[in-house]
């Protein structure tokens, strides 16, 4: 049997099912992500996209089904263990620490990796201080990449909405995760800011990350995705290349009167 590393598949779900009070938010979803690709998940509001991300990150426990990441079953693992395996995410509604500086927010993205022992932290050993300096440098480098270096020492709450969205990206990416889950990264952004995020997504992909992109902005989905999966009512109703999916009558029907696929 092939493993995740030799067939190019980084993540595979099968039969993934999650109900809320009897209503299916996800129903028997089979889904796979190829290493190094951007896989978009689209679908109308309530389709189950965020629920899918919440299952993958251990925030929700699926009723049944499997989620195999890099050869390991994720089902039943708590969020911090899943993060340590190399999966990070952004949130549809921003989840920054408003009172912390921009730099400290990004440092939070590295904490899963830091692994300091209590003894070291108590005595502030030279080894620990050295590691802290390296973490700071890594975080500053990420801020630079995401266009936020000038704001490093400011409180995150003072940033514009567009800068906050990019700060979430920086925090998700700073640990160099194997898989980054982006939940509506350009919602509420103007076209220029959207284009900027598109460029950053391509940059993350080029530097070796695999991405899952949940997004309504079809211009962005079509321009950055290798593969598109369509959910509706918790079911996978279609998948394929961006062009296949755009022309699929089932997809057009699911979206009819909801949002424009030609935007």
Provide the binding-site residues for ligand ADP, judged by CB under 6 A: 20, 25, 43, 45-51
- Cα 154 to Cα 146: distance, rounded to the nearest angstrom: 15
| Helix, strand, coil content of the chain in percent (nearest 5) | 40, 25, 35
Q: Which is nearer to ligand ADP, 45 or 262 (CB)?
A: 45
Name the minimum Å distance from CB 233 to Mg ion.
14
Name the minimum Å distance from CB 214 to Mg ion.
6
Q: Which is nearer to ligand ADP, 48 or 198 (CB)?
A: 48
Residue 50, interface with Mg ion (CB under 5 A)?
A: yes
Within positions 68 to 97, which residues make up the interface with Mg ion, using CB under 5 A? Answer: 92
Which of ligand ADP, Mg ion, none does residue 155 bind to, with CB < 5 to 8 Å depending on kind? none
Name the minimum Å distance from CB 207 to ligand ADP.
27
Name the minimum Å distance from CB 55 to Mg ion.
13
Residue carrying the six token digits 């909801």 = 258
Do 37 and 9 contact (CB within 8 A), yes or no? no
- C-beta neighbour count of 90 within 10 angstroms: 23
Do 26 and 50 contact (CB within 8 A), yes or no? no
Longest dimension (CA), the chain: 64
Q: Which is nearer to ligand ADP, 39 or 51 (CB)?
A: 51
């Amino acid at each position: 049997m092939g493993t995740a590393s030799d067939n190019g598949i980084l993540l595979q779900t099968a039969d993934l099912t999650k109900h809320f009070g009897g209503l299916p938010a996800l129903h028997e979803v089979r889904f796979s992500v190829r290493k190094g690709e951007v896989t978009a998940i689209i679908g109308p509001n309530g389709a189950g996209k965020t629920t899918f991300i919440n299952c993958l990150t251990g925030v929700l426990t699926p009723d049944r089904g499997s989620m195999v990441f890099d050869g390991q079953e994720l089902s039943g693992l708590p969020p911090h263990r899943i993060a340590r395996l190399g999966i990070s995410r952004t949130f549809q509604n921003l989840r920054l620490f408003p009172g912390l500086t921009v730099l400290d927010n990004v440092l939070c993205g590295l904490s899963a990796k830091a692994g300091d022992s209590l003894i070291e932290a108590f005595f502030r050993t030279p080894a620990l201080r050295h590691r802290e300096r390296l973490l700071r440098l890594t975080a500053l480098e990420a801020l630079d990449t995401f266009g936020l270096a000038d704001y490093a020492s400011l409180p995150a709450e003072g940033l514009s909405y567009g800068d906050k969205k990019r700060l979430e990206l920086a925090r998700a990416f700073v640990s160099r995760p194997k898989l980054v889950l982006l939940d509506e990264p350009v919602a509420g952004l103007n076209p220029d800011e959207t284009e900027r995020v598109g460029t950053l997504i391509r940059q993350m992909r080029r530097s070796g990350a695999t991405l899952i992109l949940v997004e309504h902005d079809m211009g962005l989905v079509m321009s950055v995705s290798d593969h598109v999966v369509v959910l509706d009512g918790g079911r996978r109703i279609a998948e394929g290349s961006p062009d296949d999916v755009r022309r699929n009558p089932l997809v057009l029907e699911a979206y009819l009167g909801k949002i424009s696929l030609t935007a």
